[in-house]
Amino acid sequence: MVIGHDIAGIREDAAGQASIDVVSPADGTVIGAVVAGGPADVDRAAAAAAGAFGTWSTTPMSQRIAHVEALAEGLARHRELLAATLSAEMGSPIAFARSAQVGVAIADLARLVEAARAHVEREAVSNSLVVAEPVGVVAAITPWNFPLHQIMLKVGAAILAGCTVVLKPSEVAPLNAAIVGDILRETGLPAGVVNIVHGDGAGVGSPLVAHPGVDMVTFTGSRQVGEQVARAAAATIKKVALELGGKSAAIVLDDAPLDESVRGVLASCFANAGQTCAAQTRVLVPEGMREAWERAAVEAAAGWAPGDPRAEGTATGPVASALQRERVRSHIETAIAEGARVLTGGLDIVEPTAGGAYVQPTIFTDVTPDMRIFHEEVFGPVLTITPYATVDEAVDLANDSVYGLSGGVWSSDPRRALEVALCMRTGTVGINGAGLDVGAPFGGYKQSGVGRECGVHGFEEFLELKSVMGAAALLDDHS
């Protein structure tokens, strides 16, 4: 059965329309299909969102919060279905899908609700009354690597702010979004507040970004597509939030605990088959620790061997598609040709399940800044090791990137680690393995994007500020 769009609160009939197959990366089989939308579908969804905006934007915050809390409860109620669907359509191991893909999405909504509860809509600033208002109709374009998490960060924050939404989920992993549409209908969200249009970038993404009825675009994906989104949105001067790529570095200081730093860096790099924008894929190690760190890393990598994503004990599933597998393998081939030395993994084909899009977790050493793999995002389970002589050199190497999304520092002295973290030109830094904090702002410097997601700052991305001059003294009359 082909799944249709969700527009104005109705799941549309997709019979007879062109469709896009959803292929399991575990074995290459077709597990579902969604309708291949086009500009006319975008027009209808944008009109539905615009029609719902007037009422939704003036709905009391308490009611908006109740709807988002009901959405979170729906995710929890359908956790197993969502986890199985995510695992099937994009390859996350089932245990990871249950905890990180679905569990983090639920946590996203909880932190956003906290931000909405604490939000001050009106305040006196100088002699003015400053009012925070919803930006309007939001186009949300989400990726395939953490699809549910990204949908919740964008849709949850937008509707709490009083915006209405047209969501274009990734055509690679759209089935979880269809479940979200079902949950939203179960919760009684008013028609048109959230609309879901399926399709690819050319058919739906491009007309959605350029649509004159859309006031803001929030996009997560590659740096290259992010540039296209920004250019298209510029024609109508839309507000744009971009969460793009990364090539994040972990700095291991000379007093860092060896085993803990190895386990932490490998977990950051290899989780979700390396398909994490904030993955720490470059590790910078003191020359004196290098050999010991490499030996420990090779030993630890054995625990990340690829396996069937449906099995509870699997740590690494396939990458999201056969196309993605070939992209990752191309990066590995280039690194070998440029002189990087493989410590483990590489190009040998492994197929824990026949026909699957698997890549061996791979560790390179002897990687230098003149190599492409030092700078280019692989988006697969590939780690590079580069030695350094001084901490200043390590910081320079970490900052030698057009990206600035994430990073890490390892040390037995947290204060020393903090000093180094503050020197890194990146939007987030984890000390001694600290991971994503969905209550804190997440986003990047440089070509890693514009804007922030998660918590208060993610909520505020969907607001505009109006200054009413000379009205500060009237605040109490409108609180």
Q: How far apart are CA 230 and CA 56, in angstroms?
A: 27
Q: How far apart are CA 5 and CA 24, in angstroms?
A: 21
Told to judge if 464 belongs to the known catalytic residues of this protein, a careful annotator would answer no
Please check whether residue 353 is in contact with residue 26, taking contact to mean a CB–CB distance below 8 angstroms: yes
Give all strands of the β-sheet with 164-168 in edge-to-edge order: 10-11, 6-7, 194-196, 164-168, 137-141, 216-220, 239-243, 449-450
Please check whether residue 340 is in contact with residue 333, taking contact to mean a CB–CB distance below 8 angstroms: no
Please check whether residue 200 is in contact with residue 171, taking contact to mean a CB–CB distance below 8 angstroms: yes
Helix residue ranges per DSSP H, 358-424: 372-375, 391-399, 414-421
468 — alpha (psi -120 to 50), left (phi > 0) or beta? beta
Residues 6 or more apart whose CB falls under 8 angstroms from that of 318 comprise: 25, 26, 91, 273, 306, 309, 325, 353, 356, 357, 358, 359
String of b and e for 359-382 (b: at least 16 CB within 10 Å)? bbbbbbbebeeebebbebbbbbbb
**β-strands 463-469, 445-446 pairing:** unpaired
The tokens describing 425, both together, are 């030109």
**Angle CA 105–441–159, to nearest 5:** 55
Give the type of residue at 189. L
Residues 6 or more apart whose CB falls under 8 angstroms from that of 431 comprise: 408, 409, 410, 411, 414, 417, 418, 421
Residues 6 or more apart whose CB falls under 8 angstroms from that of 234 comprise: none
Marked catalytic residue, from 12, 89, 171, 243: 243
Q: Which residues does the annotation mark as catalytic?
A: 243
